[in-house]
Structure 1
């Protein structure tokens, strides 16, 4: 039987679609590591098998061989929809659903169809009454599709529709970046779906002819447009979807969402203002074109300078983004303006210099004249006033010295090392007895191993300020302080160092800094000794507690090694 022109056209369209799908499959092979690519390869492989098998089978008039080819074509159609659904889930960042038991049920349908189709002659659950009914000179066939066959075909069409809805959601949610490609892929499912339904329900003047094969030519053309030469698999909606789940829109700082290729796929409103641009026509902007450096350089330097009216110097915070299954989908960059912070540091630096040098020099002059007046005056009241000026100068100079200690501590690079606390106590005791020769300074080590892994100079500075403060405010008749090291019932901080005196209770305004770390104009300490202690303990990642029990007790706890 000779094949008519219509028959030639059907075979040519179907086989051409098959070879086009094979080419697309080869192209996608190089993208197989991208989200969704492997699943779409499965869909295209099913299309390739169906189109070539069906096109060639139209020339096979042997009933047994024709029936076997029809079974292969039938099963291929049943795989297209589930593969397309998996592609939609993976591409839009829902890979956790693919790995769920629910998707196992989805996969079971086409797999079961293979087994049932292979054994169909024994049970007839897929089709019955297979016979050749040639039209247009083609080896077309008719048969009754049974319950499982109808279900498997409708299931394939339905899963393809769900996959299309996922892509439509990406189009609506994420703007122009995925619009052209996702639209093309979504539309590509319509022709074969229509072909399957027309054939399944025997519609049209030639129900024997499976028009899905020729219609696949449109399907492959649209997919080729979507994938070849575009960035369909260079980025994916999962990047933005995961970024939005992290609270992107709630951040007031400039935020950029990057895909795995270091392209910015989304700006928040503040970032658009900063860079004086929204997204480009296709929504894909290389990070280096915005900031002049790649991601690795930004993460290494930790900051970037950006020009423009809203520009400045920004600290860079980078957060990797992963989908629910833990696969990387890109990252999120948040920029923090550090101009105000640097200005404050500059102001503090100037104030420190004034306090360290100018105040010290001027107070030395004031003290010298006050002491000279005290010696030269004969009026006792004036002598006392001069002495008061001298004592005030001493206090200010002492504050200046403490500020110098803080400044030195901040400038030093102090490494963690093993510290013998017993030796530190002895050294502190010796230094303080030179300043307070009438004092009683007791030490008590009640642990078997008096060593700590810490920063020695910072810990010693904290202890020196606590003990000095205790002795300064002690009764002249009995200036006593105790340094004690003991174990405590805490797994996170098992060692405590206590400084204890027998003085009157320190006022609430003085000790509040240890709890809150802040001062207010109406409630503030009179000196900076406890501030130094607070800073030191914080630097050591420790904690400090104040109690009163027949004396003031300061308990410092430090983390273990």
Structure 2
């Protein structure tokens, strides 16, 4: 083999070795998106440089054959570049799979056309030797198919560069990703411009500097790989990680555009709305959750403060602190809003429990203790305005009430602390609760079971029924107090069961009902005891509702969801 103009040949071979070495290193990082297509791109580029070097130094008879083989490597370069850019930027979804398959078929077609050119001469029609100052170049006369290929390859090269530019402009990127992107753009721009210069006829006849420009491209790629960690920290990996993180979040996240249409929602948000992705994305937030939409409307940017949103999720009443932040693609231009939810149900329930129990200890128990202390002091001082037996009876009765209250508080705290639910037979739980109250009163308590149902509940359920029945007896001022406990259906709804406790007493006050609904009491007014609070907490804990009907007495209704597998 005659090595005419050895400097140019050796320069191309050096470029081939540098690029091939980088390709081999890249192939070792196959777990990073885009590295396989980048490795193929580098190997194809290396083959192109080797082929061109051999073509420069080979005998005339081999030049056309080497041109045909080298063309197969050349054809692979723009396709690999475009696929790499799709994978690297994370924009793979922009191009359907069938379109990519078509591009592969077209590239293979061009390569086969080059290898069979001697049959049809559609790629090269002829070539001639052109003497140079250093060695002989061969000048090719291209066929019509080569022009089609040139347009195809330029489109893929520019398309890939456009994807990287879009990534740079459209997203917030750190210095590593910016360095990677600029290195890639420089790496592709150098051989691309060299190729344009060649086809514009600005070089010596027959001398194509494209393959030689690959050496400079290799330098830019080495910088991207080793300084800016191209093979380990790609935008696609970042975006996939971010998407996966958001999808796995237990807190709901919703993104809306400027028209308040949902553009994305994570699985937790879909569960919150009780909708599928198809029924959520693209729909107006007003139609999906009007109260949430109103809450977002009331949001004032840069003002600290919690906004609360409540919703039944999987049959459980849940409370969320809601945050609203502007969304912007670039240049701080707002394009929508990001709505985040933080589930504070447990925290708020605990706060409510503490407030009520604290009030009971501070107010009710303090009053009872004051009674005991007062009578004990009078006995000590010898005050005989009230018979001693009466005072001791009051002390004993009040102390017994304190013991009963302490026992009740212990049961309440235990019921609150039990987080797990188990299958509970409603009729059986109600019967046990009524029997417990009957042991302490002579009031007429009747039980009617019109429906046997099972619910997912815990110890709070029986305690709540006990408290409701006991309240109906204790706060009943009728001459003949009566209480009716009824277990039955909720209208025509087969998914729920209702426990109704009806008495013939004076009726519950509007204040007490309002306090239960608001979850708090005024400083100078208090509900009559912990019983109604236990009933309220029970309904919320087990995914139900509590309601009151005051008409010739009071009817308290606890509605609970039945187990689906009954």
CA contact (8 A) 1:542 1:556 kept: yes
Aligned counterpart for 1:538 among listed residues 529, 537, 540: 540
RMSD: 4.5
State the distance in 2 between where 1:519 and 1:465 align: 19
State the distance in 2 between where 1:470 and 1:102 align: 74
CA contact (8 A) 1:13 1:214 kept: yes
Residue 444 of structure 1 deviates from its aligned partner by 0.8
CA contact (8 A) 1:514 1:545 kept: no
Instruction: Note the alpha carbon deviations across 1:19-58, whole angstroms, 9 max, x for none.
Output: 2111111101111110221221121121012111221122
CA contact (8 A) 2:501 2:556 kept: yes
| Range that drifts further, 388-397 or 9-18 | 388-397
CA contact (8 A) 1:419 1:453 kept: yes
Does 1:481 find its partner at 2:484? Answer: yes
2:40 — aligned with what? 42
CA change 1:504–1:156 in 2 (3 A) is farther
Q: Which runs of 5+ in 2 are unaligned?
A: 247-339
Aligned counterpart for 2:433 among listed residues 428, 431, 443: 428
CA contact (8 A) 1:419 1:454 kept: yes
Task: Give the TM-score normalised by the residue count of structure 2.
Answer: 0.67
Instruction: Note the alpha carbon deviations across 1:468-494, whole angstroms, 9 max, x for none.
Output: 223334434241221314476557x44
SS at match of 1:557: strand
Aligned counterpart for 2:471 among listed residues 465, 469, 474: 469
Does 1:408 find its partner at 2:407? Answer: no
| Range that drifts further, 398-407 or 551-560 | 398-407
State the distance in 2 between where 1:121 and 1:498 align: 94
State the distance in 1 between where 2:98 and 2:511 align: 62
State the distance in 1 between where 2:461 and 2:193 align: 78
CA contact (8 A) 1:501 1:553 kept: no
State the distance in 1 between where 2:127 and 2:409 align: 97
Instruction: Note the alpha carbon deviations across 1:275-315, whole angstroms, 9 max, x for none.
Output: xxxxxxxxxxxxxxxxxxxxxxxxxxxxxxxxxxxxxxxxx
Superposed counterparts of 1:242-321, under 5 Å: none
CA contact (8 A) 1:187 1:222 kept: yes
Aligned counterpart for 1:458 among listed residues 437, 456, 460: 460
1:67 — aligned with what? 64
State the distance in 1 between where 2:150 and 2:193 align: 12
Does 1:202 find its partner at 2:205? Answer: no
Instruction: Note the alpha carbon deviations across 1:404-427, whole angstroms, 9 max, x for none.
Output: 44323234x464333343332222
State the distance in 1 between where 2:489 and 2:155 align: 71
1:156 — aligned with what? 153
Instruction: Note the alpha carbon deviations across 1:125-184, whole angstroms, 9 max, x for none.
Output: 433234444546656332333443223223323432333344345556313122333322
1:226 — aligned with what? 224
State the distance in 2 between where 1:43 and 1:170 align: 21
1:290 — aligned with what? none
CA contact (8 A) 2:434 2:466 kept: no
1:418 — aligned with what? 423
CA change 1:43–1:545 in 2 (3 A) is farther
2:276 — aligned with what? none
1:363 — aligned with what? 368
Aligned counterpart for 2:86 among listed residues 86, 89, 92: 89
Instruction: Note the alpha carbon deviations across 1:338-371, whole angstroms, 9 max, x for none.
Output: 9xx89x9899879967965997477235146459
Task: Give the TM-score normalised by the residue count of structure 1.
Answer: 0.68
2:312 — aligned with what? none
1:440 — aligned with what? 445
SS at match of 2:536: helix
CA contact (8 A) 1:488 1:494 kept: no
2:332 — aligned with what? none
Residue 87 of structure 1 deviates from its aligned partner by 1.9
1:557 — aligned with what? 560
CA change 1:544–1:52 in 2 (3 A) is farther
| Range that drifts further, 65-74 or 515-524 | 515-524
SS at match of 2:220: helix
State the distance in 2 between where 1:158 and 1:3 align: 36
Does 1:145 find its partner at 2:147? Answer: no
CA change 1:415–1:388 in 2 (3 A) is same
Residue 394 of structure 1 deviates from its aligned partner by 9.6
Does 1:113 find its partner at 2:114? Answer: no
Instruction: Note the alpha carbon deviations across 1:102-147, whole angstroms, 9 max, x for none.
Output: 4445444423312332344444443323444454665633233344
| Range that drifts further, 348-357 or 138-147 | 348-357
SS at match of 1:186: helix
Does 1:175 find its partner at 2:205? Answer: no
Residue 224 of structure 1 deviates from its aligned partner by 1.8
CA contact (8 A) 1:91 1:237 kept: yes
Q: Which runs of 5+ in 1 are unaligned?
A: 249-333
State the distance in 2 between where 1:415 and 1:439 align: 35
CA contact (8 A) 1:3 1:136 kept: no
Residue 194 of structure 1 deviates from its aligned partner by 1.6
Residue 503 of structure 1 deviates from its aligned partner by 4.9
SS at match of 1:418: strand
State the distance in 1 between where 2:84 and 2:136 align: 34
Residue 433 of structure 1 deviates from its aligned partner by 1.1
